[in-house]
Amino acid sequence: MPPGNRNRLVAAGAALWGFAEATLFFIVPDVLLTFLAQTGLRRALIASLAASCGALAGGAALYAFVLAAPETARSVLLAVPGISPELASRVAVLLGGDLFAGLTAGALSGAPYKLFVAEAAMTGVPLSTFLMASLPARLLRFALAALASWLVFARLLGALALRTRQLLLAGFWLVFYAGYFAVMGW
């Protein structure tokens, strides 16, 4: 497959992952982005932008769902692994102040974006305002994950074989999610 087609496929996959995680999927696009960064920061950053755009599309779809059926949406979101009423309350507090600051703090603390979408819809934050604040917050999160992976795995551990670095990163994500779900609940 020519490199241009492969890059478009990677961007489409990142956008789809961003959409899925913004709605019901519970594994963050950071996983894909950190693997991409091992072979090229530019490609991972482009995929970060695609994942951010996918997240906004997923956020818009979830926003509409919350407006149409708020109680059903709340029940569905609380059934997603790692989401609890306490976490939803924390997100409400984060969004209670400055929208961009709350989204950024949430993105960097691991609070699921889908909860921010639901809270924004339930509290009457206009969708356009929410999406405009979401793009830089999501992009910051995804770009930082890609950059961190590139620095650690491509630069610091660059002497190791790519397969070894990929196995180390896979191990990191397994430990991360085991800890996350142990703390947040499955």
**With 0-12 CB in 10 A as exposed, 13-18 as middle and 19+ as buried, what is 63?**
buried
Task: Indicate if the pLDDT at residue 172 is higher than 80.
Answer: yes
Cβ–Cβ under 8 Å, residues 113 and 21: yes
Query: Tell me, what's the pLDDT at 53?
Result: 98
Confidence of residue 67 (pLDDT cuts 50, 70, 90): very high
**Eight-state DSSP code of residue 19:** H
Provide the residue range defining the domain that includes 53: 3-184
Buried-state track 100-137, b at ≥16 Cβ within 10 A, e below 16: eebbbbbbeeebbbbbbbbbbbbeebebeebbebbbeb
Query: Tell me, what's the pLDDT at 131?
Result: 98
Per-residue pLDDT tens over the stretch 95-151: 988 999 999 999 998 899 999 999 999 999 999 999 999 999 999 999 999 999 999
Q: Is the dihedral of CA 125, 59, 25, 48 positive or negative?
A: negative
Query: Tell me, what's the pLDDT at 35?
Result: 97
More confident residue, 117 or 2: 117
The token pair that represents 181 in the structure block: 């779900």
Total domains in the chain come to 1
